[in-house]
């Protein structure tokens, strides 16, 4: 299965060979694990990678229900779906984004940003719909009721495993996509923030709060990257950025409000506020303050970067307007001088007076 057109062959295990064929290599490893399901001796090991672990069966009003909790075996599952994500990344790039790029004829820098926005739009769309499906955003009280939320339904646990797989997969993609050195710190910055918040929500059993906050964050980020895609297609599309700017600020305000409501007030009123690792209860004052500080610091930092960018952009636009006015005034003055000098020579030339 080839994901990229080979214009040139490279020596085996060379850097260019690995970059050009990384999706095929990962695909072969995935097939090897799937083949392991066919044999009894390797089936248990293969299932460890493919299927979420730590399931328990409980009785409910609807009958027997299978629930899940987390453990160290989740690392194997995240690793497997990290490889799946690398393959899907290559598929979207080869069969969607590259075809659009050939029609747009973008510059190299714009081409890189277009690919980044295209990949993230697909991920944000799927993830936001997935997190919205749970419906916790419509019932805010469910964010802290019956805490700790140790036992998760299959699609909730699988959501968090795929989230971790996606953001971990972006680290090797920095190498595979040959990202410029000056761009790497910026990407490592936001990838680290996503991993920190997702892991905190997963390990501290704040999965319901995490689902709602990720939905709001992904919806806002999808608006930005959609605006950037439309801008690359037609540079006259500026109004979408203005709409995104309003949505960005509203998202920060809603995120902070929900965090104070769920963690600052909801969990603070809970009767059980003792640290208990066996039951998964992390509802203590110090952990609540740490979680609030982490989220508030991140949201404040995002707002600070946003307003700083907007101020610098406003200054640049003012300077451009002043430069245009000066250029127009200079051009008008030159035209006036030419007209005046032409009039002098027409009426005051010695040849005309003779």
Cβ-contact 19, 49 below 8 angstroms: no
Spatial separation of the C-alpha atoms in residues 121 and 43, rounded to whole Å:
36
Q: Given this model, what pLDDT does residue 353 score?
A: 35
Q: Given this model, what pLDDT does residue 351 score?
A: 44
The two three-digit tokens of residue 125, written as one number = 């769309």
Q: Given this model, what pLDDT does residue 339 score?
A: 58
Q: Given this model, what pLDDT does residue 43 score?
A: 92
Kindly state the average pLDDT of the residues 162-170.
96
Which of 15-19, 153-157, 300-304, 331-335 has the lowest average pLDDT? 331-335
The two three-digit tokens of residue 89, written as one number = 């990344």
Kindly state the average pLDDT of the residues 101-105.
85
The predicted-structure confidence for 225-266, as pLDDT tens digits, reads as follows: 999 998 888 777 677 888 899 999 999 999 999 999 999 899
Q: Given this model, what pLDDT does residue 107 score?
A: 81
Band (pLDDT 50/70/90 cuts) for residue 350 is: very low
Q: Given this model, what pLDDT does residue 335 score?
A: 67
Cβ-contact 3, 90 below 8 angstroms: yes
Cβ-contact 76, 54 below 8 angstroms: no
pTM for the model stands at 0.86
Between the alpha carbon of residue 118 and those of residues 44, 263, 274, 328, the distances in Å are 37, 34, 45, 40
Cβ-contact 30, 83 below 8 angstroms: yes
Kindly state the average pLDDT of the residues 53-73.
86
């Amino acid at each position: 299965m080839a994901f990229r057109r080979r214009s040139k062959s490279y020596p085996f295990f060379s850097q260019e060979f690995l970059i050009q064929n990384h999706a095929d290599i990962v695909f072969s490893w995935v097939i090897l694990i799937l083949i392991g399901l066919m044999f009894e001796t390797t089936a248990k090991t293969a299932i460890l990678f493919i299927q979420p672990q730590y399931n328990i069966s409980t009785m409910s009003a609807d009958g027997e229900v299978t629930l899940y909790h987390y453990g160290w075996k989740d690392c194997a599952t995240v690793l497997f779906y990290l490889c799946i994500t690398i393959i899907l990344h290559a598929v979207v790039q080869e069969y969607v984004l590259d075809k659009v790029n050939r029609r747009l004829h973008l510059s190299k820098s714009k081409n890189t940003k277009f690919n980044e926005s295209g990949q993230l739009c697909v991920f944000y769309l799927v993830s936001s719909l997935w997190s919205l499906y749970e419906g916790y955003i419509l019932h805010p009280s469910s964010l802290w009721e019956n805490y700790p939320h140790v036992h998760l339904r299959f699609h909730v646990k699988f959501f968090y495993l795929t989230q971790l797989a996606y953001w971990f997969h972006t680290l090797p993609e920095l190498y595979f996509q040959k990202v410029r050195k000056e761009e790497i710190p910026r990407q490592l910055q936001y990838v680290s923030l996503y991993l920190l918040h997702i892991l905190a929500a997963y390990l501290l059993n704040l999965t319901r709060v995490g689902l709602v906050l990720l939905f709001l964050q992904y919806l806002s980020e999808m608006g930005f990257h959609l605006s950037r895609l439309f801008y690359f297609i037609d540079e006259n599309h500026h109004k979408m950025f203005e709409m995104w700017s309003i949505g960005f600020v509203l998202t920060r305000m809603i995120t902070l409000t929900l965090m104070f409501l769920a963690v600052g007030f909801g969990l603070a009123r809970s009767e059980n506020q003792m640290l208990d690792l066996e039951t998964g209860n992390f509802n203590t004052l110090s952990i609540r303050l740490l979680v609030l500080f982490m989220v508030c610091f991140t949201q404040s930092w995002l707002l600070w970067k946003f307003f700083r960018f907007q101020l610098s952009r406003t200054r640049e636009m003012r300077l451009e307007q002043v430069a245009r006015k000066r250029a127009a005034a200079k051009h008008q003055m030159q035209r006036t001088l030419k007209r005046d000098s032409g009039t002098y020579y027409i009426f005051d030339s010695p040849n005309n007076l003779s």
